[in-house]
């Protein structure tokens, strides 16, 4: 999977309609048939909320502007300011006979009447110092939506949430192929497969086969385990 490009975290209400999604009873019956378990109203509600949150976050991330243009602009401004500051600070260290110093005459002579050093160069130097510090802070403080390359995707976090819901309610949460039944996978894999059919197609993962979906679920959980949020148990 290619790394996710950094995006700016922009607050938007564009996808808030997702919070009003509902799943009709006819679809819940299909989900329960795939899972092999009946789901209480409480579990249904928790699953629905997890789907809404996943889709909202994933869509917002997909539509967010790239952080690269903003970073490049900050870098350009910083690179423009630093050489000018260096020239101002090094001006007094030049010998009057240095070739560079000869250029100061026609540049600064029209400004001498205004007390060049006190009224122009020193304030300009302080302003440039503050400006460079501000660009450094801006570069560090850009509101990046996914600052950690290779970090978990929102789909991964959704799988972990579904796993926690299943475990909390003593429902099957294991992933893997059923022993003695080739190409047959655990109820949880079937649950995720059924739920994915209800979300926008571009937010689904590993829809080509249940084998691929099973592996994607395992990878999502391994990522959670490495972050220290490993579920205590997973019933089959």
The predicted-structure confidence for 170-217, as pLDDT tens digits, reads as follows 999 999 877 667 668 999 999 999 999 999 999 999 989 999 999 999
Predicted pLDDT at 229 = 45
Q: Is the pLDDT of residue 34 over 90?
A: yes
Predicted pLDDT at 161 = 95
Residue in the structure block whose two tokens are 């967010």: 64
Predicted pLDDT at 58 = 86
Cβ–Cβ < 8 Å for 174, 186: yes
68 compared with 2, residue with greater pLDDT: 68
142 compared with 35, residue with greater pLDDT: 35
Predicted pLDDT at 232 = 44
Predicted pLDDT at 192 = 97
Predicted pLDDT at 199 = 92
Q: Is the pLDDT of residue 236 over 80?
A: no
Confidence of residue 99 (pLDDT cuts 50, 70, 90): confident
Take residue 56 and report the two structure tokens written for it. 């909202």
Predicted pLDDT at 226 = 46
Report the pLDDT averaged over residues 228-235. Answer: 45
Where do the structural domains in the chain lie, given as residue ranges? 16-64+149-226, 68-141
Most confident of 56-60, 115-119, 231-235: 56-60
Q: Is the pLDDT of residue 146 over 70?
A: no
CB burial string 202-221: b at 16+ within 10 A, e below: ebbbbeeebeebbebbebbb
Write down the pTM of the prediction: 0.62
Average pLDDT, the chain: 81
Number of residues in the chain: 236
Report the pLDDT averaged over residues 136-154. Answer: 70
């Amino acid at each position: 999977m290619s790394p996710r490009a950094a995006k700016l975290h922009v607050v938007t209400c564009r996808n808030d309609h997702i919070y009003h999604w509902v799943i009709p009873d006819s679809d819940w019956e299909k989900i329960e048939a795939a899972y092999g378990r009946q789901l209480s109203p409480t579990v249904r509600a928790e699953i629905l909320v997890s789907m809404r949150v996943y889709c909202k976050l994933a869509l917002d991330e997909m539509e967010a502007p790239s952080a690269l243009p903003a970073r490049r602009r900050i870098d350009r401004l910083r690179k423009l300011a630093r050489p000018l500051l260096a020239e101002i600070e090094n001006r007094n260290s030049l010998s009057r006979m240095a070739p560079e110093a000869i250029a100061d005459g026609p540049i600064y002579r029209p400004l001498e009447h205004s007390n060049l050093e006190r009224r122009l160069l020193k304030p300009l130097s302080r302003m440039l110092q503050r400006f460079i510090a501000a660009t450094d802070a801006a570069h560090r403080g850009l509101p990046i939506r996914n600052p950690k390359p290779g970090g978990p995707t929102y789909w991964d976090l959704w799988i972990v949430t579904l796993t926690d819901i299943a475990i909390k309610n003593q429902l099957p949460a294991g992933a893997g192929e059923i022993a003695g039944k080739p190409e047959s996978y655990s109820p949880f894999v079937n649950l995720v497969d059924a739920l994915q059919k209800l979300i926008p197609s571009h937010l689904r993962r590993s829809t080509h086969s249940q084998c691929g979906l099973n592996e994607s679920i395992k990878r999502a959980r391994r990522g959670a385990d490495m972050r220290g949020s490993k579920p205590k148990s997973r019933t089959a």
